[in-house]
Amino acid sequence: MKVFRDGTVGRRWWVAGPRGTRWGIVWVLGLLSLVIGTTPAQAQASPAAELATFKAWLDREYPGYGRDEGPARFRNPTVEAAYPGRRFYYVLTYTRGIPSPYRKPLSLVVHVDESGIVTPLNRASPATFRLGLRKVSTAQDARQAAAAVLILALADPRAKRWPFEEKRFAVTRSQTGWVCTYRHGGGNYTSQVTFDKHGVLSTFSANLPPVG
């Protein structure tokens, strides 16, 4: 067995490189692993492809649905800051004080993953809002995350009827986590979002004034 300068013993295999140089096979495999490691990101579908997937899913799951906005990408700066790198898509039917003009009105927000799987955000299941949401570690984090969750829950990217301004959230921290409350005018209508001691979303509720 040959003893090399670095103290290792055994056989060392090489492959030919440019101008007769020799590259260690281990170095080459390391380079390949870097290339392979970037494959999932490169394989991620474009927003246009994800939107097409969402439209096909809507036609299949909710045939004949009605809406006032969408299908479209959900663009909101607060949501995009609280969910970095995560894209959402939506349809929205406006809340009215009269019966909807649509036979099958629909409002919802979904995420489409790189495999084309569509996952709706369900207001009855906070877990569907957790994936991709930044953990809370400061009061400002809590305000931003709470606003993002409630904006998504209402499926309204422009927050036209019920805006959620980060600065208007009251934040309380305890040993068990964070509590964020938002008053809509009077105290009778208060929405709330909570995070556990690790900064992970626990619960939320939207208590909104009636439509005038």
Of 44-48, 134-138, 190-194, the range with the lowest mean pLDDT is 44-48
Question: What average pLDDT does the segment 79-93 reach?
Answer: 97
- Per-residue model confidence (pLDDT) at position 4: 45
Kindly indicate the confidence band of residue 206, based on its pLDDT and cuts at 50, 70 and 90. Answer: very high
pLDDT digits (tens, 9 = 90+) for 23-58: 443 333 343 333 334 334 445 689 999 999 999 999
- Give the sheet arrangement for strand 108-112, strand by strand: 69-73, 88-92, 108-112, 118-120
- 181/101: higher pLDDT: 181
Residues 106 and 95: beta-carbon distance below 8 Å: no
The pLDDT, as a whole number, for residue 109 is 98
- Residue 134 or residue 17, greater confidence: 134
Instruction: Quote the pLDDT of residue 43.
Output: 55
Asked if pLDDT for residue 6 goes beyond 90, the answer is no
Answering whether pTM is above 0.75, one says yes
Q: Quick one: tokens of 193?
A: 């979002």
Average pLDDT over residues 138-160: 96
How far is residue 157 from each of residues 27, 99, 197, measured CA to CA in Å?
Answer: 48, 23, 29
Under the banding of pLDDT at 50, 70 and 90, the label for residue 13 is: very low
The phi, psi pair for 56, rounded to 5°, reads -65, -40
Provide the 8-state DSSP code for 38: T
Confidence of residue 210 (pLDDT cuts 50, 70, 90): confident
At 185 the pLDDT is 77
Q: Which two tokens stand for residue 196?
A: 């556990």
Averaged pLDDT of the chain: 83
| pLDDT(74) > 90 | yes
The predicted structure's pLDDT at residue 212: 58
What is the three-class DSSP state of 132?
coil
